[in-house]
Structure 1
Amino acid sequence: MAPSSSVFSSSLLKWTDVQVVLIFTVVFLLLAEVIRKRRPKNFPPGPMSWPVVGNTFTIDFKKAHLELTKLAEQYGDVYSIRLSRWTVVLNGYKMVREALVTQGDSMADRPESAFAVDVAHHLGVVTSNGYLWKQQRRFALSTLKYFGVGKKSLESAILEEFTYLANDIEALNGKPHNPHLPTNYAVANIICSLVFGHRFEYTDKRFQMLMKMFDKSIEIEASIWAELYNSFPTVMRLLPGPHQTVLKNWDTVKDFLRAEIEQHKKDRDLSEPRDYIDCYLSEIEKSKEDTASGFHEENLIMCSLDLFVAGSETTSTTLRWSFLYMAKYLEIQEKVQAEIDRVIGQSRQPSMADRADMPYTEAVLHEIQRMGNIAPLGLPRVTTKDVHLGDYLIPKDTEIIANLTSVMFDKNEWETPHKFNPGHFLNKEGKFVKQPAFIPFSAGKRVCLGESLAKMELFLFFTSFLQRFTFSTPPGVKPMMDFRFGITLAPLPHEICATPRHL
């Protein structure tokens, strides 16, 4: 028995040694992680960060904008959290403006994340940086302007598209319907006409599929799945989950865009460009020597995707919020309709020239954008050098979140920040007044390049809708103002009644 007992004791000792080594290794790695990931000297304070996962599981990503705003009450307008990397969150109008405008040159770049790289590969106009980004943004702005953005020539296309949508809605004769996809189709067709040179029928199955993909992908890309992907890309690339759905969705959209580009290459007239794609194909030829500018077909695909998505989702989401707010505040809706009837009447469609004579409508539309808060956290930035914000030093390569929610509801900037109040944009004489803290399109060098297009679409669609319809909720149903968090803040699925007006 002695030899056997001795062997058992020896095996037990060896196994115990292995356990000790494993435990020591784990403890060592955790301590190393804590030391490596601790806040730098004079870095903004913030909630406790856990080893490995940081604050990923301490923030509810279904309402991240509210949680980040609440943390500012405890840690101040400049604080830090650790997600896939150390991130500084800026809150309140003054601090956000200081960062994005006053020190905007130091925060004009986007951070590099695994998700963005796997989708965009450093291309496009949304997540690219440096010289390539500047050239792509310059080209996009000039081309969109060439095709009518910000000019009266685009008004007719917007109003014509509204007519298609309005005819479908009028056929419902006030019956409840979900406005989500029809509104998306109409708004998306405006950017489609600029990028592709044509619109799509609302019954087009490919078009319907793309709109659904955009909606789902924008939701997932601001979820915990995206954060886990950015934190552990090697592992997440191998695991199934919603993040894989997003990657497949974007691949499908890119295939669609490739087909559009190939068709353009076959039938374009070099002397008369029809749209953004035609102009870009010509620019590829002109910029062969300047390879750093990024004018090639893969970038055309990514830039077209950026314009397509950004030009579809944000404006249509704002319009859906407008239906809900008008249904909730019927007396405000009546005042808007009274101003429309007085200035425009029923014999013609609205025009951008009417805006100056419609201060109340303009104020209501701005308040819808403020309360709707469709870009709750904006898109992240990264510091390109060490910067000072408040009392803190923010090192180079630190991710920055400019919390636009904290600006839109800043109690120091708005009289009744959490109440729907068009008076925020009206003076005592009832004239429209711009408010500096109104920055739904962000601010600084990365301000939304589609801002002028969105403003035109919102005014023309909104006034056209209220000229022709009265919005209400189905009988016995209260307006539901709950949201679905994503890159955009969208209403939860709901039904609305659009009753034709008979004056």
Structure 2
Amino acid sequence: MELFGVTALLLIICAVFILATIVRTRRQETARLPPGPTPLPILGNILQFSGKEFAEKYGSVYTVYMGMERIVVLCGYDTVKSALIEHGDVFGARGHLVYQDILQENVRPSVRQLNNGERWKQLRRFSLTTLRNFGMGKRSIEERIQEEAHFLTEEFRKTNGQPVDPTYYFSKAVSNVISSVVFGNRFEYEDKEYLRLLNLLNQLFRDFSSVWAQVGNANDHLLLPGPYKAFSKAIDEILKFIAEKVKLHQESLDPNSPRDFIDCFLVKMEQEKSNPDTEFHMTAIMNTTFDMFFAGTETVSTTLRYGLMILLKHPDVEERIHQEIDQVIGRNRAPCIEDRSRMPYTDAAIHEIQRFIDLAPLGVPHKVTQDIEFKDYVIPKDTTIYTLLSSVLQDPTLCKYPHEFNPGHFLDSEGKFCKNDAYMPFSSGKRICVGEGLARMELFLFLTTILQNFTLRSPVDTGKLDLTPEISGFGNFPRPYQLSFVPR
């Protein structure tokens, strides 16, 4: 018994000594790190993370720990701009994303770092060029969106003014736009396989906003087996769908007449098949297609869903958009992207919807490529960086009413549209969203087409509509609601 007590005492002394050594070493290592809250053993600051409160206490640059992983958080327009624009080469690497690990494991485990280095540069350059060649910002993509907006309004017309949940209406329409670009065709709204795929995408986007997904982004070993298995199963199902599409494209490919993004990628693969260091292979086409399909569906559809909820709460804004549509477009033709420059209030309202909903509050993680002295601190190489986009979108130096919905944030004294540096929903710098141009076009054309044809009505008192997000993590998600589309 005495021996047991002595052994226990020795173990306690050793544990205390080890912890003291870790703390002392960490203090030495972090002497010039940005300040931050004291982390708990193993868990770090997971249970206490609050971007706004920490910024108020520690300033625009602070350090937190997700588990044992050190993360530096950047807040406010000036700080984020300095990092992503002025020091873009250092802050330009992509931080760890758990879904990318799962994605790569499910395709080919030997290939890593699709998000950084030369591989990322080549794939990003190819994606941008291909999207432009297929008309991003030009007529062909615009026609695809106009066509889908027409199908969407016809679906809303079938509801006969009865209340509906708009979630999957928007998912189907928006996903069909990116499908037409990537796969070369749209899907019927009642296609069961398509609906199953959209359900997987929607659930993935929501799941990645869970607390444990955020923890897993920083520490693989802290991601619980249950969520990891669910993520992996959903991703695997989506990849199977993509693999079938790629196979069909391989069987019917005409190198002289590529029909869509996958065709263009396959042509590039053939051109570089003798290059052992090529970045264009089956793994890359699977990953790139997944990213485009995933990001191109949920971000825009969620923004539209959130946007209509905001308009229900602000009927005066909806009415002013109706008036501008009637004056500029009328009722007898489809809206086109050229109308945007003549519709300052509508353009301002769409920008304000994106600013207000703060779709990706934490942004996507970055990583510094070398030690850097930044804002009087030293950030070590490979440190994960979170650019708190919320703090930019709600920067009080740039927005008079940062926590209120007000299209006036993007209008000058004469009612003309004016840019606002607080508008950074797509991030900025080298890592700005590849699909920004496509997304902005979709938001304008879908919203104006809907409001050209319908007046929005809520089946409940709009005072009961809560605009605070139901889930807030990787993304902000609106609470479930219903609305009626009343023909004008």
TM exceeds 0.5? yes
Distance 2:238 2:443 in 1: 26
What's the offset of the Cα at 1:289? 4.3
Q: Provide Cα deviations, 1:21-62, integer angstroms capped at 9, x if missing partner.
A: 432343344334434544612110011111221112223xxx
Preserved CA contact (<8 Å) 1:471 1:496: yes
Q: Provide Cα deviations, 1:352-409, integer angstroms capped at 9, x if missing partner.
A: 1111111111111111111011121110100001222212111111111100100111
Structure 2 match to 1:101 = 85
Larger Rg: 1
Q: Which amino acid aligns with 1:192?
A: S
Asked if residue 222 in structure 1 is aligned to residue 209 in structure 2, the reply is yes
* 3-state SS of 1:112 partner: coil
* 3-state SS of 1:266 partner: helix
Structure 2 match to 1:69 = 52
Q: Which amino acid aligns with 1:157?
A: R
Distance 2:94 2:386 in 1: 11
Residue of structure 2 aligned with 1:482, choices 444, 450, 468: 468
What's the offset of the Cα at 1:230? 4.9
Q: Which amino acid aligns with 2:2?
A: L
Structure 1 match to 2:146 = 159
Structure 2 vs 1, CA of residues 34 and 120 (structure 1 numbering), >3 Å: closer, same or farther? farther
Structure 2 match to 1:191 = 178
Distance 1:36 1:199 in 2: 57
Q: Which amino acid aligns with 1:423?
A: G
Residue of structure 2 aligned with 1:131, choices 118, 124, 129: 118
Distance 2:22 2:191 in 1: 52
Structure 1 match to 2:72 = 88
Structure 2 match to 1:362 = 347
Structure 2 vs 1, CA of residues 445 and 170 (structure 1 numbering), >3 Å: closer, same or farther? same
Within 5 Å, give how 1:284-295 maps onto structure 2: 284-295=269-280
Structure 1 match to 2:19 = 30
Asked if residue 396 in structure 1 is aligned to residue 348 in structure 2, the reply is no
Structure 2 match to 1:244 = 229
Distance 1:186 1:469 in 2: 17
* 3-state SS of 2:456 partner: strand
Structure 1 match to 2:156 = 169
Structure 2 match to 1:207 = 194
Structure 2 vs 1, CA of residues 292 and 68 (structure 1 numbering), >3 Å: closer, same or farther? farther
Preserved CA contact (<8 Å) 1:213 1:249: yes
Structure 2 match to 1:16 = 5
How does the TM-score come out when normalised to structure 1? Answer: 0.91
What's the offset of the Cα at 1:137? 0.2
Q: Which amino acid aligns with 2:55?
A: A
Aligned residues: 481
Q: Which amino acid aligns with 2:246?
A: I
Distance 2:110 2:86 in 1: 27
Which segment drifts farther, 307-316 or 200-209? 200-209
Distance 2:112 2:394 in 1: 29
Preserved CA contact (<8 Å) 2:372 2:380: yes
Asked if residue 341 in structure 1 is aligned to residue 326 in structure 2, the reply is yes
Which segment drifts farther, 18-27 or 335-344? 18-27
Q: Which amino acid aligns with 2:77?
A: Y
Structure 2 vs 1, CA of residues 37 and 196 (structure 1 numbering), >3 Å: closer, same or farther? farther
Asked if residue 309 in structure 1 is aligned to residue 294 in structure 2, the reply is yes
Q: Which amino acid aligns with 2:57?
A: Q
Residue of structure 1 aligned with 2:47, choices 57, 60, 76: 57
Asked if residue 416 in structure 1 is aligned to residue 406 in structure 2, the reply is no
Distance 2:113 2:340 in 1: 30
* 3-state SS of 1:241 partner: helix
Preserved CA contact (<8 Å) 1:34 1:51: no
Distance 1:221 1:347 in 2: 42
* 3-state SS of 1:470 partner: strand
Q: Provide Cα deviations, 1:163-182, integer angstroms capped at 9, x if missing partner.
A: 11111111112211111111
Distance 2:309 2:140 in 1: 30
Q: Which amino acid aligns with 1:91?
A: C
Distance 2:93 2:76 in 1: 21
Preserved CA contact (<8 Å) 2:304 2:447: yes
Structure 2 match to 1:7 = none
Distance 1:36 1:231 in 2: 21
Structure 2 vs 1, CA of residues 233 and 322 (structure 1 numbering), >3 Å: closer, same or farther? closer
Q: Provide Cα deviations, 1:216-242, integer angstroms capped at 9, x if missing partner.
A: 222222322224435653575xx5422
Preserved CA contact (<8 Å) 2:394 2:402: yes
Preserved CA contact (<8 Å) 2:362 2:473: no
* 3-state SS of 2:310 partner: helix
Structure 2 vs 1, CA of residues 452 and 126 (structure 1 numbering), >3 Å: closer, same or farther? farther
Distance 2:162 2:236 in 1: 37
What's the offset of the Cα at 1:347? 0.5
Which segment drifts farther, 33-42 or 70-79? 33-42
Q: Provide Cα deviations, 1:467-494, integer angstroms capped at 9, x if missing partner.
A: 1111122133532212122422120211
Preserved CA contact (<8 Å) 1:220 1:243: no
Q: Which amino acid aligns with 1:282?
A: V
What's the offset of the Cα at 1:321? 1.5
Within 5 Å, give how 1:232-311 maps onto structure 2: 233-234=220-221, 236=223, 240-311=225-296
Structure 2: 5+ residue stretches without partners: none
Distance 1:252 1:32 in 2: 47
Identity of aligned residues (%): 40
Structure 2 vs 1, CA of residues 232 and 378 (structure 1 numbering), >3 Å: closer, same or farther? closer
Q: Which amino acid aligns with 1:102?
A: E
Which segment drifts farther, 490-499 or 92-101? 490-499
Distance 2:175 2:142 in 1: 15
Asked if residue 381 in structure 1 is aligned to residue 366 in structure 2, the reply is yes
Structure 2 vs 1, CA of residues 172 and 115 (structure 1 numbering), >3 Å: closer, same or farther? closer
Preserved CA contact (<8 Å) 1:123 1:303: no
Q: Which amino acid aligns with 2:103?
A: V
* 3-state SS of 1:499 partner: strand
